[in-house]
Amino acid sequence: MVFHIDVDAFFASVEQLRDPRLRGRPVAVGSGVIASCSYEARARGLANGMPLHQALRLCPDLVVLEGRHEIYRCFTAAIWEICRRYAPAMETFLDEAFCDFSGTEWIYPDFLDLGRRIRREVRDEVGLAVTVGIASNRMMSKIAAKSVKPDGLRLIPRGAEEAELLPLPIEKLPGMGPKTSALFRDMNVRTVREFREIPIETLVAMLGKVGAALHERARGRDTRVVREDEVPKSISRETTLHAPTADRAELDGLMCYLVDRAMRALRQLGLRVRTIRVSIRYSDWVQEERSASIAPTGIDEEVLPAARRMMWELYTRRVTLRHLGVVLSNFRIEEPQGNLFEDGKLKRLHEAVDRIRDKYGDGAVILGRAIELLGKLENDSYGYVLRTPSLTK
Ligand SMILES: [Mg+2]
């Protein structure tokens, strides 16, 4: 599923947050035209893009501010940092972000709940309201968000896309600009339902590629993927144990499993890791951690011994453990050809395992000592269920 996260009345909200005297008052940011206005201003008929002289005529007590973009950027940076705690891939545009959660259903069984959590953390930590729309693709997630702005949360379930779109006016279709929609209005086409009557050949003849894209969008399809342009700072996998344990085989198995999961994420991103950090937490909440650096690698067998050694160095008290984590960081981008002689065999093995898992799910192959865990942790077709979310940030 894709999350569309949109800051409500962004510039104006930041100004109201920074100066409490502005709260509850109509505020507009911009020069010449409104770049952003508060919901109090919108209630008076103001909108983004409206010339300021017209806005002041409609709303004489409007507070007009020039805007300070360096400050606004700090606020979005803080919000996107919160989203990155959860989202494996993310794309941001000014005050909007698309977060791609595809394939994370096994970590986040309830996406609405995750949406609530993100909204709460943004409000508590940054002080701003964001609207979250959740759906099977980018376009639908944005439509979901728009339908509940401001300060809203909505999930359009997979399969409900078409029903959502049919009654909408054609202007709401992403990619339908004012000129294009005027063209269809002239043809007496007003809703998406009516738009869908137009054959694709006609749309392509009229508008070329745009016509073909609109044909797809009117059916709720949007194949653009969310791109993560940045290399993540770290990849972590951690878990809280169902029952605290001191069993060496079980802990070894769990570490093998966590490393396996983290390394798989690393290989998917085409990275090699240099620094490994291991953390343990005892049942009495005492926490210890340690890190080590190794030669850059993408292979479990070169990471696991260091991870296991650190775990046993850390685990010195006669108290059971309830939490175990591994964090990979200090990444190198893998050379495209790779070195066949260096680590060819193991690398090919792991690539083969990754391919099987892509096809049959993470539970299809269990590596090494993780087999010890069978029956001890809940297992499903997605692999063992980690009890805390994994983070790639
Ligand atoms: Mg916004």
CATH superfamily assigned to domain 234-392: DNA polymerase, Y-family, little finger domain (3.30.1490.100)
Residue 110 CA to ligand 1 centre (angstroms): 25
- Of 235, 236, 237, the C-alpha closest to 384 is 237
- Of 6, 319, 223, the C-alpha closest to 132 is 6
Residue 392 CA to ligand 1 centre (angstroms): 25
Active-site pick, 66, 70, 81, 96: 96
Model pLDDT, residue 337: 44
Q: Say if CB 14 and CB 72 are below 8 A apart.
A: yes
Residue 96 CA to ligand 1 centre (angstroms): 6
Model pLDDT, residue 385: 46
Average pLDDT, the chain: 84
C-alpha pair distances (Å), 173 with each of 100, 139, 206: 21, 9, 17
Average pLDDT of the residues in 71-88: 89
Span 313-354, pLDDT tens digits:
999 999 999 989 999 998 877 654 444 444 556 666 667 667
Q: Do domains 161-217 and 234-392 have the same CATH topology?
A: no
pLDDT value at 365 more than 60: no
Residue 101 CA to ligand 1 centre (angstroms): 21
Residue 36 CA to ligand 1 centre (angstroms): 9
pLDDT value at 72 more than 80: yes
pLDDT value at 132 more than 60: yes
Model pLDDT, residue 222: 80
CATH topology (fold) of 161-217: DNA polymerase; domain 1 (1.10.150)
- Of 282, 257, 202, 198, the C-alpha closest to 382 is 257
Model pLDDT, residue 70: 79
Span 234-244, pLDDT tens digits:
888 888 887 89
Lowest mean pLDDT among 263-267, 302-306, 373-377: 373-377
Residue 130 CA to ligand 1 centre (angstroms): 8
In the chain, what are the domain boundaries?
8-69, 161-217, 234-392
- Residue 171: active-site member: no
Q: How would you classify the pairing of strands 271-282 and 287-297?
A: antiparallel
Q: What class, spelled out in words, does domain 8-69 have in CATH?
A: alpha beta
Lowest mean pLDDT among 14-23, 124-133, 177-186, 266-275: 266-275
Span 46-67, pLDDT tens digits:
998 899 999 999 999 999 998 8
